[in-house]
Structure 1
Amino acid sequence: MRLSISLLLAAATTAIARNTTQVYDYAIAGAGTAGLLLAIVLTEDPAINVAVLEAGSDGRTNPNITIPELRGEIIDTEYDWAYYSIVQPGLYENRSQAVNRGKTIGGTSAMNWMIHNEDSRIQLDIWESLLNLTSWNSDASLGWNWETLSTAFRESEVFFAPSSNASSAEQPDPTNHGSSGYICSTLQRSVLSLLSDYVTPALLNAGYAVPGDRNGGNVTGAGLLPLAICPGNYTRSYSGSAYTAVQDRRNLHLYTNAQVTDISWISTTTGNVTARGLNYVDTSGRTSNTSLSIQAQDIILSAGIAGSAPILERSGIGNPDILTPLNITPIVNLSSVGTGLRDPLMMQYQPLQYNFSVEFTGGEYAQNYIDLRPAQDVLSPADYNAASVWLNETTSIPGLEDAQLLVFKHLWFTRQPLIEMAWQYSSTQSMPYTLIPLSQGTVHINTSDPLAAPVIDPNYNSVTAIINNETVPWDLWLLSRASQFYVTQLASTPPFSDVLTKTDPDHNLSPADYQQAVYERTGTSQHLTGGLPMLPRSAGGAIASDLLVYGTRNVRVVDGSIFPYQPSAHPMGLTYAVAVHAAKILQQARGTKLTYTELPGVSNSSSNATAVFPTNLPTATYDVRGSAVPASSSVVASTGGVEKVEVSGWVLSFCVMVFGRNALM
């Protein structure tokens, strides 16, 4: 009986996938962090039909995705786009950098380190106050500021407070968290004693802030940050598991192995550029169906920093100097497409190392002790003053929009976090990185081949500064000076100093030698954002505040490529918030049924649920090749290569949560 039902479903979904007369309300390119959550929120209205095209396959039962301690294990597998940047002259030995992006249901939220936090009030209010990203209509709740995005974040979250026996120093404030969203978050189960007994006391003794909860608008300080984990069965919570909870909605259609290539157009007349749908290919290799399409009233690109801009360029939207040589007819002259790409520098080749005279306990589970600091906290007074002089005297930087420089200056002088020290592992090391780099790059196509990898150029260390009459690469200088100052502070402050025996690099090196050591160890942080900045068009923007691509009537972008500048928080939480906020904008623009997410500030605080972890953790078995074998798998209905995911029974290895207001359709 199950086989016959699957065959019937296969026939039905094939017709939907190929029938050009079927018109969805929304077609979304990419079932990743933003795109899939956006689809889930939109389809809370059963009258709205949404199709989501995902280039990758369904990995939701793979233990390397679901088990928190295996985070990152899908890198360089079938679930990773596994892109690389072009060679980077600003890095040691011109190193090309891996650009790992999730290629599966859930996108990069299936791959990342699960850190789930908000940005600061000052940084998000800048979106409106300095960048003029006001509401596209008179409704202030649709503007872009801390109140609207923090509300959207809480609406996306269901937070679990730490259990009473947890060794966590955190004191979460329930009003800063949500209780009815799709993404679980909780704090760590077992904290490495290095952090609780030595790092935190030393930071306090040195005068640094160690707040209890940093989701209330002030993110500065050190401590554990929430992780996107469902505590009930201790599995990753992400847009993929959120989809599992609602996947039987008849108005939500998710197709895997469907890689979007470009946009099809109804009209290309200037002033009336209107999309008909999305063209895509079957990437499964099981059929000869290499060219398919769907139609929708509104098109949304959520293919991420490496995908959304290339789709626009292949569709004729971008810089004619790039498109014309590739025999692509320019439809909208928008040179900002593919610009403003950013990747913070991080000491990822070899982090800061510490040796100690004692052994530490705890740390058996995934944890992230994150210290976010303004420049004033991690630079000597002399370095801070010298850098401030350069910033004050600098009115423009080649390759950097003036709006971006204005933002950075504002953050610098208002004591906003610009450096992170991440203690992310149970080992005795920390990873420093620049939260908001001044260096910016691009992502473009260089061929008309729709399946070719994009040309990714983060352009590391391209901005130089003159500090104390010396020309230095700004981002590297800031990272190096901050790292050396921070380690020196810890090394001279008890109780950390009481048990420390060695630092590597040696914090007593000269500034020049220390910078060389940092330079040799520095590369990508994998926190790439930008490429389609949401800014006024005159300020170098590609996306308007209503998320429309400039010059089009019904093409929008909803993903991390629209961030107008690099967030100081980890990007995932803000990406979820953008998805929920985008749903509100779309609902208002279409005049469709308003879901509960249209009620900012109402019933979006935590219900004080407490995390209860399972006694036995999920386990993985492995085949003879060493690949993880899922404990169970979902049944899919094949559509001749392209697969539409259907409900079948239950899946053990990830969290399925159903809330009253998020009833299954």
Structure 2
Amino acid sequence: MWSNKLLLTTIASLLLQTNAHTPYQYSQALRARIYVTQSTVADSYDFVIAGGGLAGLVIASRLTEDPNTTVLVLEAGATGDAVGDSINPPVGTYYNSLVGTSYDWQHVTTPQQNAAGRTIRWPRGKVLGGSTAINGMYYVRPSDIEVEAWKGMLNSDNAAGLWGWDNLYAAMKKSETFTPPTPDVETTGNIQFNAQSYGAAGPLHVSYPGFMLSVVGNWTPSLEAIGIATAADPANGKNFGGFVSAVSINPTNWTRAYSKSAYIDPLPPRSNLDILVSATVTRIIFNGNNTSGDQIASGVEFATSATGTKNTVKVNKEVIVTGGALGSPNVLMHSGVGPKDVLDAAGVPVVVNLPGVGQHLQDHLAAPVVWQSKVETAGDIHASNSAFSKQAQTMSFINSAIAYINASTLFDNVAEFEAGIANAFNTSVQSLVHSQSSEVIDGYKAIYSATQNFVTQGVGLIELLLSINAPGSITIQAALQHPYSQGRVYINSSSAFDPIVIDPQYFSHPADVVVMREGIKLVRQLGSAAPISNALGAETFPGPGVSSDQDIETWLAGIVSTEFHPQATCSMLPRSQGGVVNANLQVYGLANVRVADSSVFPLSFSAHLAAPTYGLAETAAEIIKNAYKAPIISNNTAGPASQTNPSKGKNNALAFATWSKKETILATIALAGIIMLVC
């Protein structure tokens, strides 16, 4: 084996022989080879992935481990490389955010009748990596109770072998490489974890910030003071109670870890993987049906703008839709797959009448209580603009102290609360569902029934979150985790470039505002508990003037906002319950189209959605591979040029086949050096 010194000397020597190209330049060249243009994209691919967000990039990376499988990813946004200063430093999520820029879809809801008639912003990432490139980086798994409840709803022979806690847990661990916190961070933050509950060899780095503030260490003792236990091993399906969560961060350089940096950027040359950015999928093209009557997708149409030329790429095997809770139903409906009344009104010819597309929308709502701070916060450090504030470890701090609380803590009389929920459901179920479809109504009933079972179990109805990123203040938020209110998304135009209509129907079920009200009361109780009370000054928002139940409910209507966790719009449920995909992620009525992202989760999770979506995407890749008996090649092996797509790369100046022998050797050695230096 070469010594490190000899390897580096050889790299340096070869670099000098080739006009002093650097390992960084070669890594950029290797990465750039994956990106194609409209003039270099091939005519056909085995799989076309509609959406280059979290799930799309995971699946693309995994499928192309087989060198004989060709994949094209179509992403409406840019690569994100031009705004790395906003994406990569974790602190950028607070102070240099891409929210509101061209890298954000800038969605807004319809006016919400029960939220003071307000429209509410729904930022979503419009960039490779999707929302993982702009989110708060929490890495929180759902509880095993919730995941098992989801499996129990599927009514499928395949469900037991694909889903459920054990399977999702293994898939999440497959995606991860976990690094424990430094001893100082662990002690200062009072962090508890079990390293064995995480993966050790996956593409995605999961760890903790490199810097911690002492007020975070007050979190779990203060929760214990009001009777909320600490979750000692929250990654193992037992997230009930208080803890400081792991985050998606790379501790080798204190940068954001997200689907692009984890699953795409480190790849060796793969001539069988193409990514086309700034390409919006306008529709899936169908050509006849199979013997079962299911429509066969033959291609995908895309364009760069509403007035731009529409292009079509042929599909040899499948279309995989990974646009998320908003993008996936948008693609399906513009392809003629969805509720007939919606499609007719939008002027889109109906291919498959599938009433559940866009329905069952669930989202987490959050509201803050703010105090003056008596201690230094992360916001104070950032505002100082000191040399310390600009160090990579300091800039890696993000909020991740949370707790999950059930109704037994929120209510003195849980039975009365349960009876109130049931009464509202029984007297107004029709008005709670924005669909005339009996299937969708039956699906709401199934989701309601499963959610009711969580009320007194070890599952969070409310999430508490500590935030210390604003100068001079400390915030504790309450966030609704299992809404009884369901909304929908739908199209009102035949143009895929027009915004999708988002109507989450916030607070349409009265139980949701009651849960949130009691959550705010619990936040204030926590704020009065030592030791965290010693860090808090006067409450500045909403302030002591908002104290009665009616005061709090009125205030909530005017202040609640999304926690950025929409799901369930392409639910994995039986078709008879408004389901859109089966346990194999196949869209009902379509022969070769799957949806594989957070839109398929039919039940809201007490979690942040990145972790379960990584697990879902890893599982989806295995389902697809097994369907075509594709051999699984090591993730670190570069395959030869695809034999199934000979037209690919003819006009690509960076095609691997055009490299000289010396350039190929050099790039390989340089890449090895980079891996050694940064891993």
Q: Please classify the TM superposition score into its range, dividing by the shorter chain length.
A: 0.7 to 0.9
Residue in 2 that maps onto 1:466:
none
2:239 to 219, 222, 225: 219
For residue 65 of structure 1, what is the aligned residue in structure 2? 87
C-alpha contact (below 8 Å) 1:10/1:639 kept by paired residues: no
1:16 Cα deviation from its structure 2 partner = 5.2
Instruction: Give distance in 1, aligned partners of 2:33 and 2:144.
Output: 48
Deviates more, 1:385-394 or 1:256-265: 385-394
Structure-to-structure mapping, 1:221-236, within 5 angstroms? 221-236=241-256
Question: Does structure 2 retain, via aligned residues, the 8 Å contact 1:187–1:224?
Answer: no
Query: Does the alignment pair 1:381 with 2:412?
Result: yes
Q: Are the aligned partners of 1:169 and 1:212 in contact in 2 as well (CA < 8 Å)?
A: no
Q: Does the 8 A contact of 2:75 with 2:280 survive in 1?
A: yes
Aligned to 2:403: 371
Task: Measure, in 1, the Cα distance between the counterparts of 2:249 and 2:557.
Answer: 34
Are the structure 2 counterparts of residues 328 and 246 from structure 1 closer, same or farther at C-alpha, using a change threshold of 3 Å? same
Aligned-CA RMSD value: 3.3
1:110 counterpart letter in structure 2: A
1:385 to partner: Cα distance: 3.2
- Mapped to 1, the partners of 2:490 and 2:269 lie a distance apart of 37
Question: Would the aligned equivalents of 2:70 and 2:272 in 1 still touch at CA under 8 Å?
Answer: yes
Q: Which residue of 2 aligns with 1:55?
A: 76
Task: Give the Cα separation in 1 of the matches to 2:150 and 2:106.
Answer: 32
Contact 1:345–1:475 at 8 Å: present in 2 too? no
1:202 and 1:495 in contact (8 A); partners too: yes
Deviation at residue 134 of structure 1 after TM alignment = 4.9
Superposition pairs of residues 235-384 of structure 1, within 5 angstroms: 235-242=255-262, 243-246=264-267, 248-268=269-289, 271-283=293-305, 289-347=309-367, 351-357=368-374, 364=394, 365-377=397-409, 379-382=410-413, 384=414
Show the counterpart of 1:600.
none
Does 2:513 correspond to 1:476? yes
SS of the residue 1:150 aligns to: helix
Deviations 1:142-188 (A, max 9, x none): 42101000110000011111112223322321211011111111113
1:459 aligns with 2:505: yes
Larger mean CA deviation between 504-513 and 571-580 belongs to 504-513
CA distance in 2, matches of 1:95, 1:26: 41
The percent identity for this pair of structures is 29
8 A contact 1:368–1:425 mirrored in 2: no
TM-score by length of 2: 0.80
Contact 2:36–2:275 under 8 Å retained in 1: no
Query: Are positions 1:406 and 2:406 aligned together?
Result: no
CA 216–547 in structure 1, closer or farther in 2 if over 3 Å, else same? same
Alpha-carbon distance in 2 for matches of 1:40, 1:422? 33
What is the number of residues matched between the two proteins?
Answer: 585
Contact 1:532 1:542 in 2 (8 A): yes
Deviation of residue 657 (structure 1)? 9.0
Q: Distance in 1 between matches of 2:35 and 2:55?
A: 29
Measured against aligned partners, the alpha-carbon deviations of 1:387-425 in whole angstroms (never above 9, x if no partner) come to: 122245566533161111111111113231110111133
The equivalences for 1:79-118 within 5 A come to 79-92=103-116, 94-118=117-141
The verdict on how the C-alpha distance between 1:658 and 1:475 changes in structure 2, with shifts beyond 3 A counting, is farther
Q: State the SS of the aligned residue for 1:79.
A: coil
1:420 corresponds to 2:463? yes
Q: Give how far 1:456 is off.
A: 1.1
Structure 2, unaligned stretches of length 5 or more?
1-18, 382-393, 434-440, 636-648, 668-672
CA contact (8 A) 1:30 1:52 kept: yes
Does 2:58 align with 1:41?
Answer: no
Cα distance per residue 1:126-149 (max 9 Å; x no partner): 12224435526xxx5x42101000
SS at match of 1:481: helix
* Deviation at residue 595 of structure 1 after TM alignment: 5.7
Pair 1:134–1:71, CA change in 2 (3 A): farther
Residue by residue over 1:372-392, the C-alpha shift from the partner in whole angstroms, topping out at 9 and shown as x without a partner, is 111212x1313x332122245
Q: Map residues 451-600 of structure 1 onto 2, 5 A cutoff.
A: 451-463=497-509, 473-491=510-528, 493-498=529-534, 500-503=536-539, 504-506=541-543, 509-594=547-632
C-alpha distance after superposition, 1:63-90 (max 9, x if no partner)? 1011110016111112111121111112
- The answer (yes or no) to whether the contact 2:47–2:70 under 8 Å persists in 1 is yes
Counterpart-to-counterpart distance in 1, 2:475 and 2:35: 54
- Looking at secondary structure, tell me which structure has more helix per residue: 2
Give the letter aligned to residue 398 of structure 2.
Answer: A
TM-score, structure 1 as length reference: 0.81
Q: How far 1:312 moved relative to its partner?
A: 1.0
Letter of the structure 1 residue corresponding to residue 555 of structure 2? A
The SS at the match of 1:71 is helix
The reply to whether residue 441 of structure 1 matches residue 458 of structure 2 is no
Amino acid at match of 1:476: V
The Cα of 1:367 is off from its aligned counterpart by 2.6
Cα-to-partner distance string for 1:233-267 (whole Å, 9 max, x where unaligned): 11111111121011621211111111101001121
